[in-house]
Structure 1
Amino acid sequence: MRIDKYLWCVRYFKTRNIATTACKKGHVKINGATVKPSRDVYATDKLEVRKDQVTRHLTVLDIPPNRVGAKLVDIYRLETTPKENFEHLELLKLAKDHYRKHGVGRPTKKDRREMDDYLDDNFDRKESNS
């Protein structure tokens, strides 16, 4: 089975097109070698898949006949990704919360509400002083 189809079948990518693009960009390796999307995958192959800034390591246990349900994925692959990689992903998610600096770019919905509240308060104060 082709590597792009295998990654789609075991639900690492949502579509085959995305899996093919990842292979073309060099995000997929079999036994340490970068591969093209048409490369065949066999049982006992070691895969490295870079997705969402995390390199996932997995071992092919068997080849699925077609796309499988999420509960059946563990029959066809063995996840050997170190926990440090997932901890790195959590740190990236936390860092994204504070990524945008205030005053740069278009205001978010929360920023807009805070500005409206501030302007309403100032307008009410000026009317009461008059």
Structure 2
Amino acid sequence: MSDRIRLDKWLWAARFYKTRSLASDEIGKGRVQVNGQPAKPAREVGPGDLVIVRKEDPPIEVRVRAVSGARGPATVARQLYEETPASTAARERAAEMRRLAPEPALDLEAGRPTKRDRRLIDRMRGQS
């Protein structure tokens, strides 16, 4: 096994993306950084590199522990990287904020306006 591997292949093997082409597209859009710099799909990564994946709201920050060219089970893929403590804390804070956020549907008391309500609204706005 080589010491370094293409970034798109590593992201696919580590199960961040379902296909290599999807990983390549996301890298091309600038959503993946290696050691704080934008990367290209052919950029080689190895153990010790810091990879930032902006897939969700708080970006996932991981340190490469190993490389693999084959996509295996999730338990094996999890051993290819180690999430940084700062990233873990940020994701936990975001999950807590989502949990404590009010339910958006609570603002809707009566639901959608009826046909009669719509006519009254239009009359108040002077549209008819």
Range into which the TM-score falls when normalised by the shorter chain: 0.5 to 0.7
Give the 3 Å change call, closer, same or farther, for CA 96–49 of structure 1 in structure 2. farther
Q: Which residue of 2 aligns with 1:122?
A: none
Counterpart of 1:13 (choices 9, 14, 17) is 17
Counterpart of 2:38 (choices 34, 56, 72) is 34
- Paired with 1:91 and 1:17, the residues of 2 have a C-alpha distance of 33
Q: Which residue of 2 aligns with 1:70?
A: 74
Q: Give the stretch that moved more between structures: 83-92 or 35-44.
A: 83-92
> Among the aligned pairs, what percent are the same residue?
31
Q: Which residue of 2 aligns with 1:50?
A: 54
Largest Rg, 1 or 2: 1
What's the RMSD between the two structures over aligned residues? Answer: 2.8
Q: Deviation above 4 Å: which 4+ runs of structure 1?
A: 92-97
Q: Which residue of 2 aligns with 1:88?
A: 94
Gaps of 5+ in 2: 115-128
Gaps of 5+ in 1: 103-110, 116-130
TM-score (norm 1): 0.67
TM-score (norm 2): 0.68
- Paired with 1:4 and 1:96, the residues of 2 have a C-alpha distance of 38
Query: How many residues in Structure 1 have an aligned counterpart in Structure 2?
Result: 106
